[in-house]
Chains A and B, each alone.
Chain A
Amino acid sequence: MSKVEASKEHQIYLQKHKIRKTSIAVSQISIFIAFFALWEIAAYFKWIDPFIMSQPSRVVKTVVSLTSDGSIFLHTGITVLETIIGFLSGTILGTVIAIILWWSDFVAKVLDPYLVVLNALPKTALGPIILVWIGGTTSSIIVMALLTSIIVTILNVYLAFKSCDEDKVKLLTTLGAVKLQILSKVVLPSSIPAIISVLKINVGLSLVGVIVGEFLVSRAGLGYLIIYGGQVFKMDLVMTSVLILAVAAALMYLSVNWLEKKLTKMR
């Protein structure tokens, strides 16, 4: 098909498509540049107070100074590491609990109202309790990250288990499969896409847990830089940290996205 010379009409169609794609990309980049340019100019001409609102050039200076003493890597690294541990443990532990619920319908029914309430509860409200119980350490932060993601994981993965095709389960039963085989041969593999999409949600949720944890523990990490910068009124530091956080969050999300593409390619 593609080797044949495309008709005039088709060429016009393809060109239209290309123009549309380019104009979307151009608009996206323009918004980005306009936002920072306007921010810079507004601060430069004192339309806004750069002491309160900060300024892109000050952010760049802050990045440079944080880079020169290496602290940017320390704080970003700590936050990223805590988030990764948080969402991986939240996803794994949540999946294990979902397996238990799938295994015993009785347990699932009994725990149902508790899960509903825990799901509705904002987990960040538990922060001070965890801080008191576990102490102002990294463990507290990871537990926060775990808590923010685990309930959503349990509910979503359990739902995926339950929506596994009944006839596929019946097929295995007729072949003489026991419950563990039904789990490992059909229920788990058919739920892999759901588990990965939970992983994607959990990147964001764990990050919430980690940042709130760092606010409370106040030792290191981007959350610490933000709260510290706010307290001593170094808005440059706050803005810089928020921007780095945005980049780090996007990169983590993209890596899970990439993992998803890899894993679901064969389906």
Chain B
Amino acid sequence: MVDKVVEIKNVSMNYHTLSGETQAIRNLSLDINNGETVSIVGPSGCGKSTLLSLISGILKPTSGSILVNGEPVAGPSSNVGYMLQKDHLFGWRTIIKNATLGLEIQKKLTKDSQAYVEHLLDEYGLADFKHHYPKQLSGGMRQRAALIRTLATNPDILLLDEPFSALDYQTRLAISEEIWLIIKKERKTAILVTHDISEAVACSERIIVLTNRPAEVKNIHEIYLTCDKRTPISCREAPEFRHYFNKIWKELDVHV
């Protein structure tokens, strides 16, 4: 497998509306390595989500190129899984039917893939809820079900677009821990977009700080934390945690 799973080369992205043209991303280059968890932080509206949409192939860059596993992105592919802010489980489908949605769309719903999804649901505590409807589940369980829906098509790369922001703070801490453990266990590469600096420091090995719009890479931080188990919650106790937090906070240069 290639070491660099995502290569973003000199990408620019412009939006056109009747009131004018907006440059969302300017000449941005970035590599993501296999198996790492990377967070992207930046000022609100700086084009973080646009970057994820470009990697997932649902948008095409104005210029530059994006390679996933060495191949140029031509459209949505099963190599890349996208997780949105809310779980967006469909109320009219049971959990198992929600989880197999991607397989159904990609026409890959076979006995084997069905069994794989069942295995994931069993493994991650949803065994008894397969035939329940989403509204019968708690917020945390729904988020897990949404992750399993993303994992079902077996993507190498997960794009997480503020996946915890719709949850309350306690649930958010617990779920980010759980999701992080699942991602590591399944050996996925993850790109996390977040507003939450502490979440970024706790969850990732690298943090990419973007500038104001049009987004460029402002700085890249390698995160080294001294703690026994490197999981998001225990990371928060590491002595370096505060140091990274302050550095990134200053770089974001927030003025209210």
Residues of A near any B CB (own CB < 8 A): 165, 167-168, 170-177, 181, 185-186, 189-190, 192, 266-267
Contact (A175, B105) CB under 8 Å given A192-B92, A266-B92, A266-B133: yes
**Chain B: interface secondary structure?**
loop
Contact of A189 among B80, B92, B135 (CB under 8 A): B92
Q: How far is the CB of A177 from chain B (nearest CB, A)?
A: 5
Does B91 belong to the interface (CB within 8 Å)? yes
Contact B82 A171 (CB under 8 A): yes
Contact (A172, B105) CB under 8 Å given A167-B85, A266-B133: yes
Segment of B21-29, B71-79, B181-189, B238-246 engaged in the interface with chain A? B71-79
Cβ-closest chain A residue relative to B93: A189
- Looking at B56, B105, B153, which has the most chain A CB atoms within 10 Å of its CB? B105
* Residues of the B chain whose Cβ atoms lie less than 8 Å from the Cβ of A267: 91-92, 133, 135
* Residues of the A chain whose Cβ atoms lie less than 8 Å from the Cβ of B91: 267
Contact of B76 among A168, A176, A190, A266 (CB under 8 A): A176
The CA of A148 and the CA of B81, in the complex, are separated in Å by 47
The CA of A44 and the CA of B101, in the complex, are separated in Å by 70
- Looking at B58, B80, B88, B153, which has the most chain A CB atoms within 10 Å of its CB? B88
* Residues of the A chain whose Cβ atoms lie less than 8 Å from the Cβ of B88: 165, 167-168, 171
CB<8 Å pairs between A and B, sample of 9: A165-B88, A167-B84, A168-B90, A171-B88, A172-B101, A174-B80, A174-B81, A175-B101, A176-B105
Contact B92 A185 (CB under 8 A): no
The CA of A175 and the CA of B101, in the complex, are separated in Å by 9
Q: B146-192: which residues lie under 8 A (CB-CB) from chain A?
A: 153
* Residues of the A chain whose Cβ atoms lie less than 8 Å from the Cβ of B102: 175-176
Contact A171 B84 (CB under 8 A): yes
* Residues of the A chain whose Cβ atoms lie less than 8 Å from the Cβ of B153: 175
The CA of A64 and the CA of B34, in the complex, are separated in Å by 85
Contact (A170, B78) CB under 8 Å given A175-B105, A176-B105, A185-B101: no
Does B86 belong to the interface (CB within 8 Å)? yes
Contact with A along B48-69 (1 / 0, CB 8 A): 0000000010100000000000
